[in-house]
Amino acid sequence: MQRQLMVTNIQRMCFHDGPGIRTTVFTKGCSIHCPWCSNPENISFRPEYYEKDGIRGIYGKEYPISELVGILLKDQDFWDVDGGVTFSGGEALMQAEALQGVLEELKKLQIHTAVETALFIPVGKLKLVLPHIDYFIVDIKILDQKICHKVLGGNVEDYKANVEMLYNSGRLKQFRIPCCPEYTFTEENKKLLLAFLKQYPDIPVQVFSIHTMGKKKYETLNRTMWESRGVEERILAEYCQSLKKEGINAEFIHI
Ligand code: SF4
């Protein structure tokens, strides 16, 4: 069993990663590759050297379960009654075996647990962690099977089956749509998004524009970020209104 979790960052005082005030753990390694990704250091599963302002470092550190839990517990006073720990990435669920160990320890202490996931993961990994996660935030990206496979390297049918399982568990609490004019926010994909969201009308949806804030991180890895103009706030606000007219609880957020 994998006993160490590969982490790139532990961020305190997070307000957008689930209920209340949270500590967010960013794990290394992702199962897909979004062109607009702003966390390039979290895509490869292996540690990577970076250079910033002439200083070299490594993205990725393996934490034994007990050490990571000990670090997280130092933040307990900040979480108050409704906060807790969120695992993000990368794709945290790809490290389901080690994550299960961390989650079990947190749940023994009745700490609220959340995950932000793109959900392009083998169903066996999802089953392993599902009982220990209170709150799932799930991305919706490209829903056309061929385009999704070509652009992201993901399988839409597997993704949809995972969403269905989560929904039936009662732990799917939030959808998020990263809006990218070239891929997720095309007219064709918006039609697919609407049909998909209508299957889950009680799950709130947050929409946001992709951005280029990760550009500097690409530079530290000696890579160039693919750049998109993103989607204007006014257009996203209109999009939320159109979803609301269809009975979907949508809101526009900044990430
Ligand atoms: S799912 Fe997230 S971490 Fe993975 S490639 Fe896409 S944007 Fe990056």
- 178 to each of 2, 13, 108, 168, 252, how far by Cα in Å? 31, 22, 34, 24, 11
E-strand spans in the chain? Answer: 4-14, 22-27, 48-52, 55-59, 61-64, 84-88, 112-117, 135-139, 172-179, 205-209, 250-252
- To test the pocket of ligand 1, the residue of 27, 30, 31 to mutate (highest count of ligand atoms within 8 Å of its CB) is 30
- Whose C-alpha lies nearest to ligand 1, atom 7? 37
118 lines ligand 1 (CB under 6 A): yes
The predicted structure's pLDDT at residue 159: 98
Mean pLDDT on 51-75: 96
Q: Is 50 helix (H, G, I), strand (E, B) or coil?
A: strand
Nearest Cα residue to 114 out of 14, 188, 223, 236 = 14
pLDDT digits (tens, 9 = 90+) for 109-149: 999 999 999 999 999 999 999 999 999 999 999 999 999 99
Higher pLDDT, 1 or 37: 37
40 lines ligand 1 (CB under 6 A): no
Q: How far is the CA of 30 from the centre of ligand 1 (A)?
A: 6
Mean pLDDT of the chain: 97
* Total-model pTM: 0.97
Residue 2 has pLDDT above 80, yes or no: no
Distance CA 172, CA 175 (A): 8
| pLDDT band, very low/low/confident/very high, at 246 (cuts 50, 70, 90) | very high
Distance CA 112, CA 89 (A): 18
60 lines ligand 1 (CB under 6 A): no
33 lines ligand 1 (CB under 6 A): yes
Q: How far is the CA of 81 from the centre of ligand 1 (A)?
A: 30
The predicted structure's pLDDT at residue 1: 60
The predicted structure's pLDDT at residue 131: 97
121 lines ligand 1 (CB under 6 A): no
The predicted structure's pLDDT at residue 114: 98
- Whose C-alpha lies nearest to ligand 1, atom 2? 90
pLDDT digits (tens, 9 = 90+) for 161-193: 999 999 999 999 999 999 999 999 999 999 999
Atom of ligand 1 nearest to the CA of 36: 7
Mean pLDDT on 57-76: 97
- Whose C-alpha lies nearest to ligand 1, atom 3? 90
39 lines ligand 1 (CB under 6 A): yes
Distance CA 32, CA 139 (A): 12
Mean pLDDT on 213-228: 96
42 lines ligand 1 (CB under 6 A): yes
Mean pLDDT on 8-30: 97
Residue 206 has pLDDT above 70, yes or no: yes
Looking at domain 4-252, does it have CATH number 3.40.50.620? no
The proportion of the chain whose per-residue pLDDT surpasses 70, expressed as a percent, equals 99
Mean pLDDT on 203-221: 96
